[in-house]
């Protein structure tokens, strides 16, 4: 019975359902958000095959869009506009000092229905600075994000999703985050948008990797002008080629809503 129940929960997690709020979409012929997946950090403490043995239970041609390093007004606003045009929801891993500098934009991200995760205070590589300093980077970043979102600083995140800058974790830091009930996100593929290239080159690189992987958590950066310019074409590509976007929210169990 326990095995059967676990199997049914896993099956429910990969069955696409209509996106919440689809009726609010201003256009009918859009990519949209295919389903919402509730991620339990106790079940999935670490995800993303570029860093860890497991990832989220996505079906073929399902993708999760994630953006790091914001908010940065000149480009984050363009990313938000592109996502809104296609009624797509994503996860933004924010740098605390950027959130502190742009609290209205943080609230705008959340108000648009996107998920706000955490990416340290200043983007230092945490495997190089010792655990006390690394913990301070993590907690200060979370506190700044929470202050921007809710008006009060706390090191207990309302959304317990975290991504290490440069994926530079340590076993001790991973264990600490797991003990706090915070899920650590790697990625399954990325656009390498930290390298200079044209939007067209970036689109070609990312779509070729996606065709090979078939699905996955995609890492992008909303601070990059080339990514902001490329994003509308990426969303059109996903729509044209039958990909489905999964939106992540925190919760006690992996399930669809």
Say which residues have a Cβ less than 8 Å from residue 21's Cβ, sequence separation at least 6. Answer: 33, 87, 113
Q: How far apart are the first and last CA of the chain?
A: 24
The single residue of 118, 123, 221, 247 carrying the catalytic annotation is 221
Rounded-to-5 percentages of helix, strand, coil across the chain? 40, 15, 40
The single residue of 68, 145, 188, 222 carrying the catalytic annotation is 68
Say which residues have a Cβ less than 8 Å from residue 111's Cβ, sequence separation at least 6. Answer: none
Say which residues have a Cβ less than 8 Å from residue 166's Cβ, sequence separation at least 6. Answer: 125
Known active-site residue 114: no
Rounded to 5°, the CA angle 117-122-124 comes to 100
Rounded to 5°, the CA angle 227-88-241 comes to 80
Taking the C-alpha atoms of residue 226 and residue 200, their distance in angstroms, rounded to an integer, is: 9
CA distances from 210 to 114, 181, 234 (A): 22, 30, 11
CB 245 within 8 A of CB 64: yes
CA distances from 45 to 13, 42, 185 (A): 16, 6, 8
Known active-site residue 221: yes
Active centre residues (catalytic) = 68, 221
């Amino acid at each position: 019975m326990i095995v059967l129940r676990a199997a049914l929960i896993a099956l429910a997690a990969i069955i696409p359902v209509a996106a919440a709020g689809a009726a609010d979409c201003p256009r009918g012929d859009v990519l949209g958000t295919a389903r919402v997946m509730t991620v339990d950090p106790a079940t999935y403490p670490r995800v993303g095959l570029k860093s860890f043995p497991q990832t989220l239970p996505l079906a073929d041609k399902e993708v999760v869009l994630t953006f790091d390093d914001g908010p940065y007004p000149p480009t984050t606003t363009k990313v938000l506009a592109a996502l809104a045009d296609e009624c797509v929801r994503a996860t933004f891993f924010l740098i605390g000092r950027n959130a502190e500098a742009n609290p209205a934009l943080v609230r705008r991200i959340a108000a648009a229905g996107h998920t706000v995760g955490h990416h340290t205070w200043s983007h230092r590589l945490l495997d190089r600075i010792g655990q006390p300093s690394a913990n301070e980077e993590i907690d200060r970043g979370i506190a700044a994000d929470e202050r921007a979102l809710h008006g009060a600083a706390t090191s207990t995140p309302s959304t317990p999703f975290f991504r290490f800058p440069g994926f530079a974790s340590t076993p001790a830091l991973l264990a600490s985050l797991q003990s706090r009930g915070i899920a650590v996100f790697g990625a399954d593929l990325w656009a390498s948008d930290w390298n200079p290239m044209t939007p067209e080159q970036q689109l070609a690189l990312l779509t070729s990797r996606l065709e090979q992987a078939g699905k996955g958590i995609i890492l992008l950066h909303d601070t990059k002008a080339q990514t902001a310019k490329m994003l509308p074409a990426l969303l059109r590509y996903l729509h044209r080629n039958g990909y489905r976007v999964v939106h992540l929210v925190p919760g006690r169990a992996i399930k669809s809503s």
